[in-house]
Amino acid sequence: MDKDILDDMLGDIIDTKPIMTKPIDKPITTKEKEIKMENIEIKMEAKEVKSEVIKIEDNKFLPGVSVDVGTSFICSTRYTEDGKFINKFHRNSLYALDINEESADLLERSNYLYIKTENKYYVIGNDAISLVNALGKGEIIRPMKNGLLNESIRESENLLFNVIKCVVGNPIVPRENLRYTVPASPIDKDVNNLFHQNVLNNLFEKMGYAAKPVNEAMCVIFNCNPIMKSEDGDVPFTGIGISFGAGMANVVLTYKGMSLVEFSCTKSGDNIDEQVEKVTGMSKGKIIKIKEKKLNLNKIDDNDRVQSALSVYYDETIDRIVKNIENKFKNVGSEIDGEIEIVVSGGTAKVPGFDKRLEASIRNSSIPFKIYRVRMADDIFFAVSNGANVRAQSDYKKSLK
């Protein structure tokens, strides 16, 4: 990272008041679109997330947009002139139907959001979850898997492009600055993210943006500002950031906003669902619904087999990732003199009680740093996208100089 960019970015964050997030209350949809692009027809709408009802077009945005390209969700953030983040998201899930008269009738009757390719219909987003649960057969698939493009789906690149296009929209100025998240290469699997990054960069450039990648875990740092306590006073943007996503957990160690060590661990939230599916026989779609609507790790119903299995595999996931963090940091030469914070975000960490289990696992580990607090992001679902937008705003300000 260039020093002048870092200085500008940190100066912007430190000198300004805390930025308030203003999400959307009721699900508000953009105008439904029919798009034909690269032999793919798409009928879909981007949906907003909770809070007070406002129209996106009523807000005056500063140039600079961010996109958290997650395995489970695509999240986009813009920043208003009056200092608020506005978030949009869409579930990155697909349910495949053969192209035939029966499928066409179903889609026409149901008003599901879908993408049509040469040989498949793909029902997308929450509608995919609803449909697989209603039919009781088939499975949810995603354009991404384990944090990267899903190599088992031939059309994954085009499918992902169309989902992203509906969530992000067009640039509001020519060559608008855009920051998109990418994972670090995993330490527990021999795979490199370079191809994934190049594909995303090409997609955004094709949409007319001036696009740059930003490490996912670094976005947690930018959004949450972990503090190191030292004899000389508090040191900002110094600590560990962790983003618990569906495909991966991304981790970074920083000092004054500079990345010292960054890596990812595979088998995160999606792996929990897969393991529970194996031991209970329940479909993944129903497991996701229970996990998102009912699960509380502080109050597990031991008579509920699915809840019990989710509890077991949450513990396994947390302990395994913490062990990977411990082993990685033991093998690096970084020395941190003060006591640091660990800041945490991500959809997998949203479940009530996750914070207590994670902190207990960290306290029982041998991570070679003094840790005075484990803190969950205030806006845990959008922390990564909001943090990426901090970088996008910094890029825009720099372009004006």
Strands 339-345 and 370-376: parallel
Determine, yes or no, domain membership for 131. no
Determine, yes or no, domain membership for 38. yes
Determine, yes or no, domain membership for 224. yes
| pLDDT for res 21 | 36
Q: Which domain holds residue 307?
A: 3-92+142-399
Query: What is the block-wise mean pLDDT of the chain (401 residues), using blocks of 10 residues?
Result: 46 39 32 31 38 46 94 91 92 86 88 83 86 83 66 67 86 95 91 81 93 97 96 94 95 95 94 96 91 95 95 98 95 84 96 97 95 96 97 92 78
Determine, yes or no, domain membership for 364. yes
> For tokens 């825009």, what's the residue?
396
Run of H or E including 5? helix 3-15
Measured from the Cβ of residue 215, the count of other Cβ atoms closer than 10 Å reads: 23
Determine, yes or no, domain membership for 88. yes
Determine, yes or no, domain membership for 296. yes
| pLDDT for res 48 | 34
Q: Please tell me the total count of domains within the chain.
A: 1
DSSP code for 31: P
Strands 258-266 and 248-255: antiparallel
| pLDDT for res 259 | 95
| pLDDT for res 154 | 62
Structural contact between residues 127 and 134, judged by C-beta atoms closer than 8 angstroms: no
| pLDDT for res 22 | 34
Determine, yes or no, domain membership for 136. no
Determine, yes or no, domain membership for 381. yes
| Cα atoms in the Cβ-side hemisphere of radius 13 Å centred on 280 | 23
Structural contact between residues 329 and 367, judged by C-beta atoms closer than 8 angstroms: yes
| pLDDT for res 135 | 83
Q: Model-level pTM?
A: 0.82
Run of H or E including 131? helix 126-135
CATH number, domain of 247, equals: 3.30.420.40
